Structure 1
Amino acid sequence: MSERYFDADVRDGAETFARTKHGILIGGEWRDAVSARVFETYNPATKSLLGVIPEAGAEDVELAVDAASRAFNEIWSKLPPSERQRLLWRLGDAVEAHADELAVLETLDNGKPVREARVIDIRNAIETLRYCAGWATKLTGETVPVSFPGEWHSFTVRQPFPVVGLIVPWNAPIMMAIAKLAPALAAGCCAILKPAELTSLTALRIGQLTQEVGFPPGVINILTGAGRGVGQAIVDHPGIEKISFTGSGAVGQQIISSAARTMKKVTLELGGKSAVVIMQDADLDKAIPSAARGIFGNAGQICNAGSRIYAHRSVYDRVLQGVADFAEKLVVGNGLLPSTQMGPLISQAQLERVCQYVALGRTDGASVVIGGNAEDETGYFMRPTVVAQTRQNMRIVQEEIFGPVVCVQRFDDNNALDDLAMLANATEYGLGAVLWTRDLSSAHRLANRMRAGTIRINGGGLDPALPFGGMKKSGWGRESGREGVEAFTETKSVIVAL
């Protein structure tokens, strides 16, 4: 972005798009929902109206499935893999060309600092499109020797699900939409994308870009609306053979139950309560700010947020003070302002939820070192919060809060690696974990014992090439990497008598 952060015309363009009359995308056409119902979307930093969005329902899902099925049978399945690759790469170029606009639109709709949206979310979306584009030409089977009497040629092939349903959350709208669209399209599927009701705008803009770069009509369909309405209809429809969902554990369990009726394949990326373990030999100059950014980034509204910090007693005081100092200096405000380092929570309901967890922690005996309260009444702002003197059985330690609240606990020399692993593993979640130590042996041994889908040692981030997903109640299956693309295919065995 420029020194001015972004040009005034970029903001004007994003706001104009938000106010534009929107439609749902079915079969290459933008149209009203069959019911003609709409809902409003608001800027969480100002509580002001951004735009009016169509509320799709079961009738629209029916139309979208028909359009996607026709597109798959008549066009998409007949294109060579290199054409899917080319279209995905062109979409990546289009997202890059409109990166500032998309970042501002994301901030208006979600609230996160625009620089964070630009540098993290939009960049990740671009890289995901380009990474998955390469897989379009590389999804292969293998030849398999068999032991039947006679002479045979046996092999496997990977074939896409014709129509898939992609349901994305509100905390990283564009990044998560692309994280599901890109592998599905690379695999050869046609998609029905449902953005979160609270944050639909960037998905609608991406829909326009897919048309501009030449995706055939019906390959990508976008239905906006509530999860209990259009989302449930997507899960229930027998013509959709695969669901990829990111969101809460409660909704994930409902999807499993509903999908069982039609035997849909399901990928679920659900909640987390990720542990950050800081050993006595850790590089604290790196570990402390990293741990703070890991919980206060996106106002803590990240499934993989490091919301539990376990620090060795010899460094505990410095870690606690360092994270608290980081929190105190954070500038909380409207994400469009250059000075803002942490934006608002997504809604009044989410703000109340986070404040209730802090109050519950106090009731249970925890000590709030800093923060713990709403910021002001302009938007849904929460002060970054550091909590100490917690116990493992406290709800504030065990349950996902999805806000800028971190619990800091100490461990001592009596805690062997097995004990540390037990601390890190002592929740129903298993999405991620972070470990800080200079001891390579301890790092590998502890990482081996941690029950989480992604372990980061001494830093690092998430990359489209790395599989991402959770253990335990953090989900089913993996997104990203080779596994993420293959999840949108089924393996077929073929045997030929020679």
Structure 2
Amino acid sequence: MAAHIALRRSSKLLTRSYVSSSSSSSISRRFIRQMSMDTQGAAAELRSSGLLQTQGLIGGKWTDAYDKKTIEVCDPATGDVIVNVPCMGRRETNDAISSAYEAFKAWSKLTANERSKCLRKWYDLLIANKEQLGRLITLEQGKPLKEAVGEVSYGASFIEFYAEEAKRIYGDIIPPTLADRRLFVLKQPVGVVGAITPWNFPLAMITRKVGPALACGCTVVIKPSELTPLTALAAVELSLQAGIPPGAVNVVMGNASEIGDALLESPQVRKITFTGSTAVGKKLMAGAAGTVKKVSLELGGNAPCIVFDDADLDVAVKGSIAAKFRNSGQTCVCANRILVQEGIYEKFANSFTSAVQDLQVGNGFREGVSQGPLINEAAVQKVEKFIQDAVSKGANVRLGGKRHSLGMTFYEPTVISDVKSEMLLSREEVFGPVAPLLRFKTEEEAIQMANDTNAGLAAYVFTTNVQRSWRVSEALEYGLVGVNEGLISTEVAPFGGVKQSGLGREGSKYGMDEYLEVSRLGQMIYQFLLTSVDFIHTVIAGEICVFGGHESCMRCGHCLSASFELEFVHLPTY
């Protein structure tokens, strides 16, 4: 078995650059020692619960990498290694694809009600294990436990929703152009799906893709982030317990390049769904062209948060903080730019900064913590680069702007004012706890500033003017717009971007279409004299009973009633 709990301190992360003084260094060392004990305890607890799976899943079997290579999964709050997991590649992925392809033949033939029951059981198990799954998310991703448990509820909601939507995949009947023709539209599962998911929502990004895929009758090969694979493995373990058959869901992790290439090159994979950076999304889109796969992409954002001078200040401050600092600013729909009308700029900036100052930074397992660590050192360095660029061009740091005294990858919640459109903080997605404040004068200027980006995922508007809220929302070039709210994602509404923020939609009934193919069936209706049940059976049911496989309708009441139903619907009466 590839996994073992190493639980060693990653000393290379504890360099002097993480602390500002010998005093804070001492605080950091005490903090790390305490948190290391939390890592050990959490890992042991999860192992005893059976949710700490540490192998890939191929065809219903837990599997090591064929060459026995492993990768470390670390706690970002401490640098401790939680476990080692397999570093899989092309061979394992090809086998997972083959397993999914074989499983598709049976899974797609189940009735919608049968698939629905499996999904409902999976949802029930996710909710029953909500606390443990939340602890696992905090352990490997770092977000506060309250947020992590909330993610489990949010992620499970997609499984619950699609358990019901599985029974509502409707086709269509098109009025024919000729009297003896009938035209039907059928919706059928696309086939094997390759799902590539990110580290920032390690459960919800799995369920938001796998839920509708399974509901439609597809099977899936999941490639979770190598930074947070444990939550994905726990989730699919529960899917097996729910009765979802072996091979319907597979998990491979490790060598991203090899896994991605295998998914793109295989003709058995008919769809790629990806959440991640725009740069990687473009490569996947180009690679999918080789076998002309369906593609849905949820890519990077640069969300504007527009605060007009007629906004309710308290609502705007609370909503902007929720939109900006959730998950330490590591979400694709984070308020990346806060545009404030000049009449209330200083008042908003003061109230906003005061509220941000109350955010408590720390290990996600600690009560009262509202901001955990960033995912890794590269994320911290990106934040530092963006802030340095802004300050060098005239921006002012009102709060934060440096690494937290706790060390590691903890960063102080930061507010920067007098940010200009040419700064990196305005042009690119920072993916960290940094709130840039920009000024605007008029509604037209705000819309122009908001749309001046290649991204188009989410936007936020704060105003008490209903006419303005509609006018501005409809002018914004974004797939999602929240008015007077900072949390906008839900399982019942479509989620997705425009421009270079992606293609397709996830969630809601519209998310089902991404996993379905539309087929047109044309049928010529002949006018026969109906003389016997056997003749009806031969002409209409196609000589083989579609319900029981019997050779004669007299053996099965189902096909007899179906035949007469077809007679009245499609054939003239003699």
The TM tier, using the shorter chain, reads over 0.9
1:250 maps onto 2:276 in alignment = no
Q: Give the aligned partner of residue 506 of structure 2.
A: 479
Query: CA offsets per residue over residues 263-309 of structure 1, 9 Å max, x none?
Result: 11100000011011111111111110210121111010000001111
Paired residue for 1:127? 157
Residue 427 of structure 1 aligns with which residue? 453
1:437 to 459, 463, 474: 463
1:9: Cα distance to partner? 8.2
Structure 1: state its 5+ residue gaps.
1-5
**Which position in structure 2 is the counterpart of 1:285?**
314
Cross-structure match for 2:398:
369
Cα deviation, residue 371, structure 1: 1.1
Among 341, 346, 365, the alignment partner of 1:312 is 341
Structure 1 residue 225: Cα displacement: 1.4
8 Å CA contact 2:87, 2:254 repeated in 1: yes
1:463 aligns with 2:490: yes
Give the aligned partner of residue 100 of structure 1: 131
The 5 A counterparts of 1:141-152 are 141-147=171-177, 149-152=178-181
- Once the two structures are overlaid, the 10-residue window that deviates more, 284-293 or 104-113, is 284-293
Residue identity opposite 1:449 in structure 2: A
Query: Which amino acid letter does the alignment assign opposite residue 211 of structure 2?
Result: A
Q: Which residue of 2 aligns with 1:50?
A: 82
Preserved contact between residue 225 and residue 231 of structure 1 (Cα < 8 Å):
no
Q: Is contact 1:278–1:309 with CA below 8 Å preserved after alignment?
A: yes
**Mean CA deviation greater in 231-240 or 57-66:** 231-240
Alpha-carbon deviations, 1:359-416, whole Å to 9, x = none? 111122221111111114642111111111111122221101111112111222xx1x
Give, in angstroms, the shift of residue 150 of structure 1.
Answer: 4.3
Q: 1:426 to 1:266 in 2, by over 3 A?
A: same
Q: Please report how far the alpha carbon of residue 224 of structure 1 lies from its aligned counterpart in structure 2 after TM superposition.
A: 1.4
Contact 1:44 1:346 in 2 (8 A): yes
Aligned-CA RMSD value: 1.8
| 8 Å contact kept, 1:351–1:382 | yes
- Equivalences for 1:25-424 in 2 at 5 Å? 25-73=57-105, 75-119=106-150, 121-147=151-177, 149-376=178-405, 378-412=407-441, 415=442, 417-424=443-450
* Shift >3 Å, 4+ stretches: 8-12, 15-21
145 and 16 in structure 1: CA distance in 2 versus 1, 3 angstrom threshold: same
Cα shift at 1:230: 1.6
8 A Cα contact 1:11 1:104, kept in partner: no
Matched, 1:497 2:527: no
For 1:353, the aligned partner's letter is K
Give 1:262 deviation, angstroms.
1.1
* Distance apart, 1:16 and its partner CA: 5.5
C-alpha distance in structure 1 between counterparts of 2:406 and 2:44, whole Å = 25
Of structures 1 and 2, the one with the larger relative CO (CA 8 A, separation 6+) is 1
Instruction: Select the structure of larger CA radius of gyration.
Output: 2
CA gap of 1:24–1:370, structure 2 versus 1, over 3 A, is same
1:76-113 Cα distance to aligned partner (Å, 9 max, x none): 02211001111111111000000000000000000000
Contact 2:43 2:52 in 1 (8 A): no
Amino acid at match of 1:85: S
**Alignment gaps of 5+ in structure 2:** 1-37, 526-574
Distance 1:156 1:197 in 2: 41
SS in 1 for 2:506: coil
Verify the 8 A CA contact 2:54 2:230 in the aligned structure 1. no
Structure 2 Cα separation of the partners of residues 20 and 54 of structure 1: 14
How much has 1:419 moved relative to structure 2? 2.6
In structure 1, C-alpha distance between the alignment counterparts of 2:262 and 2:353, rounded to whole Å: 45
CA shift at 1:496, angstroms? Answer: 0.4
CA distance in 1 between partners of 2:454 and 2:101 (Å): 39
> Which residue identity does 1:131 align to in structure 2?
F
CA 1:232 to 1:401, structure 2 compared with 1: closer, same or farther past 3 Å? farther
Query: C-alpha distance in 2, partners of 1:229/1:100?
Result: 34
Asked if the contact 1:19–1:52 (Cα under 8 Å) also holds between the matched residues in 2, the reply is no
Cα pair distance change 1:127/1:19, threshold 3 Å: closer
Distance (whole Å) between structure 1 residues aligned to residue 50 and residue 244 of structure 2: 23
Opposite residue 468 of structure 2, the aligned amino acid is S
What's the offset of the Cα at 1:26? Answer: 0.7
Compared CA separation, residues 467 and 19, structure 1 to 2 (3 A)? closer
Distance 2:428 2:101 in 1: 41
> Match of 1:128, as an amino acid?
F
Please give the alpha-carbon distance, in whole angstroms, between the structure 1 residues aligned to 2:462 and 2:401.
Answer: 27
**Residue type of the alignment partner of 2:148:** A
The residue type equivalent to 1:231 in the other structure is G
User: Per the alignment, in what secondary structure is the counterpart of residue 253 of structure 2?
Assistant: coil
| TM-score (ref. length: structure 1) | 0.94
Query: Is contact 1:35–1:57 with CA below 8 Å preserved after alignment?
Result: no
**Alignment check: 8 A CA contact 2:53 2:234 kept:** no
| Inter-CA distance 350–370: structure 2 relative to 1 (3 Å threshold) | same
- 1:3 aligns with none
Structure 1: distance between partners of 2:348 and 2:524 = 67
